[in-house]
Amino acid sequence: MDSLQKNGLITEELNVYYGTNHAVKDINLTFPKHTVSALIGPSGCGKSTYLRSLNRMNDLVEGTRVTGKIWFEGHDINDQGEDLQQLRRRIGMVWQKPNPFFKSVYENVAFAPRYHGMKNLDEIVESCLRKAALWDEVKDRLKDSALALSGGQQQRLCIARTLALGPSVLLLDEPTSALDPISTAKIEELMFDLKKDYTIIMVTHNMQQAARISDQTAFFLLGELIEVDQTKRLFTNPKQKKTEDYITGRFG
Amino acid sequence: MNPKTTDRIATFVLYTIAFLIVSVLFGLLAYILYHGFQRIDLQFITSPPETMKAGGGIGPQLFNSLYLLVLTLIITIPLGLGGGIYLAEYAPKNKVTDAIRLSIEVLSSLPSIVVGLFGLMVFVNVMGWGFSILSGACALTVFNLPLLVRVVEESLRSVPREQKEASLAMGISHWTTIRKVLLPVALPGIITGTILASGRIFGEAAALLFTAGMSSPDLNFSDWSFTTPVSPLNPFRPAETLAVHIWKVNSEGLIPDARAVADGASAILVLTVLFFNLFARWFGRWIYKRLTAS
């Protein structure tokens, strides 16, 4: 129980199958509270699939089976009886491509809290936009379409929208790969601020990014977890030959 | 032959075909409108037809066509939305769903005269509604429904998948996601598709011959009750539509100016359908701009 208090999320022997394809194999990982964890690895290594199973998004894909345990807030959320609506309020997700709703900036943030019956929507919208470092840029255009924002602003809006439900874990699936360098820098800065209050798990293709902002890094290859360590140690002194080959750019 | 020459020949052939199609279309349109406009005036559009002498109009027929369209849409839109949402969002991938899809394909390709005879049997006789607007609307529903189901399904499917995921990932239920996230994005497509399908209903004749009937009572346009036999709104009265009227004056009309009446009615019909099409494009774009502010 003590380790559950300190840790935001733990997976035990997590397996994901797409039909007969065994995409993620026996992953044991621990994500301490208030840290940024980076999942790296070449395309198709199962890191996104693993990430999507943490808030049970893989349930939406027909023919997918997830076995193993995911410990979160004291119980196994991979259980059939888990209330997914409540779970997803606690574990938020941000996608690779910014996907704001086809609604106004305000409505993008207020939509989910209103659905869940939360009060003081104006305050929630303002505080979440502030947390996402977007408030100053959009405070005069809250009624405008979110699609009129730039890509980087849209992605920060997606982060704000996720924060609005008061989650404790944020799952980010390559959140900057569709953005320009300046927007990327802003999002990275943001993650640095957000980890004070949230446990962040991020998939990234960009190893410099993993090295810059994460506290721990996990290297995936062909569905297996090859190595996990503190970021600094993993990048300077990898224990596995495969990790070394990957981070030095010998493949992938 | 060298690739350059082949390219030139191909380009020439394609341009010729395109030109032929466009000129046939414009020729037809010009012919219909030229002849039609010689007859069309306010009196023609508003007054009732004559049975024996010249000078009759198409007022009741035009009204019948519009009223039938409205009634059909009232029946089809809820059913089409329901079916389309089911197929796009709920139907599992299995044999039953495949069978439903196949039925829809078949239904939409049924010859309209067959649908008309089916309507005569079921709505007119078995249900006992007689030759009436309601029977006509139900017959039109039979082949309008598959179109609409497909329009709704396609529009929902064309909404980016990430929209749905984003909503579900915030703990929002599937049904609310459909209503509040997917449908607003799909709406322009649904509206455009519905209006285009309306054009087809408006011009339909064969399915209505034996269902809505080939006559119209002397309508009293100051009586707007739903029950009196001469009320334009009474759904249980027979209602000859514009398209049926064209067919009738041409095949069995006794009026001396049958040709002119048919010309005028045709022009009105074509213009209305053309208007539906242009309006659908414009309205779809307008709604899209409204919803996305782009």
Per-residue pLDDT tens over the stretch A167-204 = 999 999 998 888 888 888 888 988 888 889 999 999 99
pLDDT surpassing 70 at residue A5: no
Q: Select the residue of A85, A89, A145 nearest B292 (Cβ to Cβ).
A: A145
With CA atoms as reference, report the closest residue to B156 among B246, B78, B95, B87: B87
For residue range B60-89, what is the model confidence (pLDDT) as tens digits? 888 888 888 888 989 999 999 999 999 999
How many angstroms away from the CA of B173 is the closest CA of chain A? 7
Q: Select the residue of B173, B181, B294 nearest A145 (Cβ to Cβ).
A: B294
With CA atoms as reference, report the closest residue to A139 among A172, A105, A170: A105
Lowest pLDDT segment from B2-16, B43-57, B122-136: B43-57
In chain A, residues with a C-beta closer than 8 Å to the C-beta of B173 are 85
Interface of B with A (CB under 8 A): 92-93, 160, 162-163, 165-173, 176, 180-181, 184-185, 291-294
DSSP string, B22-48: HHHHHHHHHHHHHHHHTT-SHHHHHSP
Q: Is A168 helix (H, G, I), strand (E, B) or coil?
A: coil
Tell me which H or E stretch contains B217: none
Q: Select the residue of A88, A97, A161 nearest B171 (Cβ to Cβ).
A: A88
Residue B208: half-sphere exposure toward Cβ, Cα within 13 Å: 34
Residue B18: Cβ within 10 Å count? 10
Residue A86: half-sphere exposure toward Cβ, Cα within 13 Å: 6
For residue range A139-166, what is the model confidence (pLDDT) as tens digits? 899 988 898 899 889 999 999 999 999 8
Cα(B37)–Cα(B35) distance, integer angstroms: 6
CB contact under 8 A, B172 and A102: no
| Interface predicted TM-score (ipTM) | 0.88
What fold is seen in the domain A2-247? Rossmann fold (3.40.50)
For residue range A73-131, what is the model confidence (pLDDT) as tens digits? 888 888 888 888 899 999 999 999 999 999 899 999 999 999 999 889 999 999 999 98
- State the pTM of this model: 0.82
Radius of gyration of chain B (CA): 23
Residue spans per domain, chain B: 38-292
Contacts of A209 (CB under 8 A, 6+ apart): A38, A176, A184, A188
What fold is seen in the domain B38-292? MetI-like fold (1.10.3720)
* pLDDT at res. B1: 78
The average pLDDT across B42-71 equals 81
Residue spans per domain, chain A: 2-247
Residue B229: Cβ within 10 Å count? 13
What does residue A181 show for φ and ψ, rounded to 5 degrees?
A: -60, -35
Radius of gyration of chain A (CA): 18
Alpha helices in B120-255 (DSSP H): 133-157, 161-168, 174-176, 183-203, 206-209, 242-252
Looking at every residue in chain A, the average pLDDT score rounds to 89
CB contact under 8 A, B160 and A89: no
DSSP string, B56-113: ---HHHHHHHHHHHHHHHHHHHHHHHHHHHIIIII--SSHHHHHHHHHHHHHHTS-HH
pLDDT band at A1 (very low <50, low <70, confident <90, very high): very low
How many angstroms away from the CA of B103 is the closest CA of chain A? 25
Mutate to test the interface with B, among A96, A115, A162 (most CBs of B within 10 A): A115
In chain A, residues with a C-beta closer than 8 Å to the C-beta of B166 are 93, 95, 99, 101, 158, 161
* pLDDT at res. B39: 78
Residue A51: both structure tokens together: 């990430």
